[in-house]
Structure formats: C-alpha cells, structure tokens
Amino acid sequence: MSKLFNPFKLKNLQLKNRIAMSPMCMYSATDDGRITDWHQIHYASRAIGGVGLIIQEATAVEKRGRITANDLGIWDDSFVSDLSKFVENIHSLDCKIAIQLAHAGRKCEVTNERIIAPSAIQWSEKYPIPTEMTKNDINEVIIAFTQAAKRASLAGYDAIELHAAHGYLIHEFLSPLSNHRIDEYGGNTINRTRFLKEILTEIKNVIPSNMPIFIRVSASDYIEGGLNIDETLAIIDIIKDLIDIVDCSSGGLLSPRIDLYPGYQIGFAETIKKFFNISTAAVGLITTPEMAEEIIGNQRADLVLLGRVLLRQPYWPMYAAHILKADFTYPTQYIRGKY
C-alpha cells in the first residue's frame, strides 16, 4: 500500500493523503488585496486534482506587509466574507485548506508604503532602505498577525501557517544578517526569536485549541554568519510547544548561489523531524511520485509540499496514484478519464 496516500491527522486537521500544495504567490489579487476569479479557479483545480491540503499563498496581515500590490490580504474584517465563500468551495471539493499569514518587511515592493524591518538594512540596491521598527511598530505587527489569525479562523480555514522564511519580516528578525538590533529583539538566538514567539503566543490565544499551526522556516541562509540548520534547531526548540508542524524551506534572505537538485531541502525536514519528534513538511523540487513516496515511506517527513509541478500538472495526485498503484477516488465527472 502506498504511504503517500495514507491519511494524516494533526489535531482537528484530517487529510486524505500526504500531498499538499505549497504556497505560491499568484500576484492576481485586486489592488486592495481581494480574492479574484483567478484564485477560485486556480485553487479549485488542484482540489479537484486530489491534493489533501492546499496552503494558500502568502496573505498579508497589513497593507504594508504585501510583497506586491496584487498580493492577497486579510488585514481587515471585511475580507472574511469573500474568504469564507472561497474556503467553503474548496471544502466542497473534498480538500482541506490552510492560509499562510505573511508580512513582507523590507521586501515590500508596494509604492507609497512605509517599509519596515528589524534594522534599517535594504534587501538590495533596488529596494528602499526600510525604517527600523520601534517597539510600537513591533506591537502593531504582532496585533496584525493575531487579528489576521482570528479572521482566518472565522473564515473557516483548517490551519494557519506563519511565513517565517524567504527573507520576509519574521525571517528578517531571526537571521543575524538582517537583524542588527541591540535591544531585546536582537543579538542572541533567544532575542531574535522573541518576535516570532510573541506572535505565536498571541495567535494561540485567539484560535481554537485544536486548530493546527504550521510554520515555514528557511532552515539555512546559505551564507556564512546567517542561519544554518544548527541555529534553526535552536529556534525551533524555543517555539516547539507553540507549533504543530514545521514546513522546511530555505534561502531567500539575500541572493546566494544555491545548488538546486531534486529534493535538495528534504534533509532539513528529516533532521528537524528526528531531532524533535515533531511533524514536518518537505518541499523543494519534489516532482515524481516515486520521490514523494520515498520521503513519506522512509519517515523523512509527514507531508510533501508540491509547488511548480502542480502549476504544470494540477491533477498530479491522480497520476501519482496510478504510478504507485494506490486507491484514489476520482470525482464522478472525471471517472471516464481514469488511468
């Protein structure tokens, strides 16, 4: 029996298989962050295709937290109604959905926004120098994440993922390359993790106790003096009681050269899973059913997150079930196309 198509349960989250859609920005929201027909069709196609879980693209908790002007948002109560209808549609297609809550920090490309970061260090010469966050700014962003999580719960999402990777605001606090603060939010690992820990603590106070929290981390900055797997383990040790699963990515803080090859990030998920006996999700050029099966079968991770391959093949799970000779329930409308 295929391990990839075994069910997975985490608190109140029950998945029909171990295949998840990785969060990928579509840059297709309205200028005020609203969901569009594109999102409805894009995500529904992958739900019909058979993924067990969709992790919705980075959704900004503040207007100034968008990466681009066409990122999704959830910074106001008025977003809940449309998102609720969207979630209901995904659920009707026998799929679960999580939302990735995000803040771009110094990587915000939106014009006329006050760009903020832990330290006044620009991401690149093409980006403005951000304003170093005051204690008041920090508190405002913590509240923004907390309120966004509350709205996500009201909208019916099955889980929440905090985006603490890829050089965005939380990652900027975590890495010593982007955090040069000399107060309680900078310096040693405990201090640099304080912002993330305070966000998680507040979120847990406003969402149901059985609603899982994912965290996406960049396990390595691939640059000397930045985060590596050892310090990532130290960070997770600080927050492990506040999270349920670690989504293991890497890079994004600067622009180092990374040797890319199939499954190049799986080792991070495997290391974190075995070190803490915590659930993990593996991501990174996982494209074949055999590779996905190996990851789950050898208990290197609990979920596989597929990104670009699902852009090319929305119905990849159907194909994978055929290759792995796994049971797969086709939508009635698609039975004529069964392998």
Give a yes or no: residue 28 inside a domain: yes
* Residues 6 or more apart in contact with residue 280 via CB below 8 angstroms: 245, 246, 247, 248, 269, 270, 272, 273, 301, 302, 303
**Nearest C-alpha neighbor of 57 from the set 37, 36, 40, 71:** 71
Confidence bin at 153 (pLDDT 50/70/90): very high
Q: What is the pLDDT of residues 205-224, one digit of tens each?
A: 999 999 999 999 999 999 99
Give a yes or no: residue 227 inside a domain: yes
Q: What is the pLDDT of residues 71-88, one digit of tens each?
A: 999 999 999 999 999 999
Tokens of 241: 């009681």
Domain count, the chain: 1
Q: What is the DSSP string of 30-80?
A: -TTS---HHHHHHHHHHHHHT-SEEEEEEEESSGGG-SSTTSEE--SGGGH
pLDDT score for 180: 98
- Residue 125 pLDDT > 80: yes
> How does the average pLDDT of the chain come out, rounded?
97
* Residues 6 or more apart in contact with residue 274 via CB below 8 angstroms: none
Q: Which domain holds residue 238?
A: 8-337
Give a yes or no: residue 141 inside a domain: yes
Give a yes or no: residue 288 inside a domain: yes
- Residue 231 pLDDT > 90: yes
Q: What is the pLDDT of residues 241-297, one digit of tens each?
A: 999 999 999 999 987 778 888 889 999 999 999 999 999 999 999 999 999 999 999
Give a yes or no: residue 1 inside a domain: no
* Residues 6 or more apart in contact with residue 17 via CB below 8 angstroms: 4, 5, 6, 7, 8, 50, 51, 52, 317
Confidence bin at 62 (pLDDT 50/70/90): very high
- Residue 1 pLDDT > 90: no
pLDDT score for 289: 98
Q: What is the pLDDT of residues 299-330, one digit of tens each?
A: 999 999 999 999 999 999 999 999 999 999 99
Confidence bin at 124 (pLDDT 50/70/90): confident
CA–CA gap between residue 192 and residue 181 (Å, rounded): 9
Give a yes or no: residue 92 inside a domain: yes
Q: Residue 208, SS3?
A: coil
Element (H, E) at 190: helix 189-204
Give the CATH number, domain containing residue 207: 3.20.20.70
Give a yes or no: residue 2 inside a domain: no
